[in-house]
Structure 1
């Protein structure tokens, strides 16, 4: 019995001691792994308002850059298409002229064929007016030579038009492919913007208002500023009339705008033609320093010159900010300043 009791004392509980601790650790690790794969048990990392602003700012900058690149590609595509249309019209006109020339040559050839049965010497002997015959023969020869030269020239022109038309078609196809690529990029940015809106939804109303820059001041709230020229005043007046209208990709008004579409439309109303994109508009006028800004000047932002607004004085501008936001008045120090230009 004592031996039996001794034997029972020496037995170890498989669920206690180091083995139990090891098994417990493995079980906890397995549970943690399973929890990770199941997507539960981990709270989403806390994101501060400053982090949200930085991430959303970057997304908006990418969206604006993609829009301006898209606008440029679309403009080049339209120009290529117009060029192709002109070439087609020119080819049609030249083909008509070529056909007319061929018909005339056909008539000459028919007349020559009908007269071919008679020897030229005999025709000369039988004619009542040899001088008239020789004059007509010389004229016919010159006409044939001129018509032949015209046909050869028309054929060369038509061949050149065909070559240019084919080249223009290839260029258009390339531009359309680039446009499709930009559209895919826009879709990516839109997804990012959706993420940004989700992040902005985590902010309180006060934090969101602070991010948006607070309430946009009305024109009456701004200090009076006089535009340097009549045209600049007209551009500023147009921009004021666009306040409250929505930002829309690629829009140039009058119901909606993107950033460069707004500035282009404002200066068009003043009789000045600006390029379509912000990175082209910065070179469309006289460059001015930030300290010399005057109402009507174009103000540009970000290192890629991907955003533009219209300066109205008092350190403020009118601009089309981003998707989901209307045309508004904002301080120019709201974004990284890249330069300014004064259209002529």
Structure 2
């Protein structure tokens, strides 16, 4: 029995070691490895064997370390795809709103054009009733010169009004054509974005499924040892980060808004991670940080990559509670700094919102949603 188990694990490790590195750098979760190069995936070994006997010997840690590395890569790729999905979802919402706005403008423009056409028709009917005679002929036929002059003034006013009416109709028709062209372009973008979102969703699901299959090849004692290796790696990374003395100058206090954001984020501890989720029962990493700052009255971009691009950057030694720490070279993970070298974050599928060491993952940089309130000083309360 023990030999059969070791054979199954050996097969899994062989698969792990045979694959090349996955498509996105780094891992979005506790790891002391440098950002890895892209890798491809290979099918995991099947599961479903009976529980091991007490005499089963665990494989060498280096074999389980290979499994851990592979899992990190799979979950990192899932995190990258999740960010792509979230970005596509945000674009879909924006494009749908723009299309609705353009449709309203088209409806308003059509109502305006209909009204202008009615006025043009009325003007044409008035001209028809006068016979369309030139002013000189009307003067010759009129027995009252003053009446003619009064009528001539009205004709001039009418001509000016008709000219303005034609201009209004022309502009309205041009606006309608532009609105229609814009709406068609937005619809094209929306369709392309929906396809991108579907592709990202498929990639997330495939990576998570592959990771779960790989974990299913492990016996209970092996999974327990794997979890221990993950904790040890995280602790080593945090110790190394603290050993640089990075925190000796970190003394900033949370602003009022920052304290609210931290309060919201820490209140979610224990809730499950779910990719694409923004609460209230489940969260992904950027769903947690964006909702925390929304609760503090400071809406920020939805994805970790956009948070990195759009929010003001601050030095690590200047960070304060409420700031967001962005991880990995591709900005695929984000956490909220809560002080004392700790973060709160939603790690990955199968985990819950938790506190962790800020140095457990490779830090790309720090961003500040409320930078205008000062550098490290509490806001006036």
TM-score range for the pair, normalised by the shorter chain length: 0.7 to 0.9
Displacement of 1:281 in angstroms is 0.8
- The residue that corresponds to 2:66 in the other structure is 51
Counterparts of 1:245 and 1:202, CA distance in 2: 24
1:166 correspondence with 2:184? yes
**Structure 1 residue matching 2:7: 3-state secondary structure:** coil
Larger relative contact order (Cα-Cα within 8 Å, sequence gap ≥ 6): 2
Task: Please list the CA deviations of residues 194-246 of structure 1 after superposition, one character each: whole Å capped at 9, or x if unmatched.
Answer: 224324555446424425639x9xxxxxxxx9733111111111111111111
Give the aligned partner of residue 327 of structure 2.
301
CA distance in 1, matches of 2:110, 2:262: 51
Does residue 128 of structure 2 align to residue 103 of structure 1?
Answer: no
Find 1:186's aligned residue among 204, 211, 219. Answer: 204
After superposing the two structures, state which structure 1 stretch, 330-339 or 84-93, moved more.
330-339
- TM-fit CA distance, 1:52: 1.7
User: Is 1:249 aligned with 2:275?
Assistant: yes
Distance 2:184 2:274 in 1: 35
The 5 A counterparts of 1:133-212 are 133-199=151-217, 201=219, 203-204=221-222, 206-211=224-229
State how far apart, in whole Å, the 2-side matches of 1:288 and 1:43 are.
51
Superposition pairs for residues 60-139 of structure 1, below 5 Å? 60-116=75-131, 120-124=135-139, 125-126=141-142, 128=144, 129-139=147-157
Q: Which has the larger radius of gyration?
A: 1
Structure-2 change in CA distance of 1:196 and 1:288 (3 Å):
farther
Alpha-carbon distance in structure 2 between the residues aligned to 1:147 and 1:201? 82
Where do 1:241-320 residues align within 5 Å? Answer: 241-320=267-346
Q: How far apart are the structure 1 equivalents of 2:332 and 2:185?
A: 31
> Residues 259-303 of structure 1: CA distance to partner in whole angstroms, max 9, x if unpaired?
001001111112212111101112333323333332111112222
CA, structure 1 residues 171+141, in 2 after alignment: closer, same or farther (shift >3 Å)? same
Q: CA deviation at 1:156?
A: 1.2
SS of equivalent residue, structure 1 residue 283: helix
Structure 2 distance, partners of 1:140, 1:314, is 79
Secondary structure of 2:8's partner?
Answer: coil
Partner Cα separation in structure 1 for residue 167 and residue 252 of structure 2: 66
What is the RMSD of the two structures over their aligned residues, measured on CA atoms?
Answer: 2.4
Report the 3-state secondary structure (helix = DSSP H, G, I; strand = E; otherwise coil) of the residue aligned with 2:366.
Answer: strand
Name the CA distance, whole Å, in 2 between partners of 1:194 and 1:334. Answer: 23
Q: In the TM superposition, what is the alpha-carbon distance from 1:85 to its structure 2 partner?
A: 1.2
Q: Following the alignment from structure 2 to structure 1, what is the Cα–Cα distance between the partners of residues 332 and 184?
A: 34
1:247 touches 1:320 (CA, 8 Å); kept in 2?
yes
**Is the 8 Å Cα contact of residues 227 and 296 (structure 1) preserved in structure 2?**
no
Bigger CA drift: 195-204 or 324-333?
A: 195-204
Instruction: Judge conservation of contact 1:52–1:199 (CA < 8 Å) in 2.
Output: no
Taking structure 2 as the reference length, the TM-score comes to 0.72
SS of the aligned residue for 1:213 comes to: helix
- The residue matched to 2:164 in structure 1 has which SS? helix
Distance (Å, rounded) in 2 between the aligned partners of 1:293 and 1:143: 66
In structure 1, the gaps of 5 or more residues are 1-39, 217-224
Check 1:201–1:113 CA distance in 2 against 1; reply closer, same or farther (3 A cut): farther
Give 3-state SS (helix, strand or coil) of 1:136's partner: helix
Aligned residues: 295
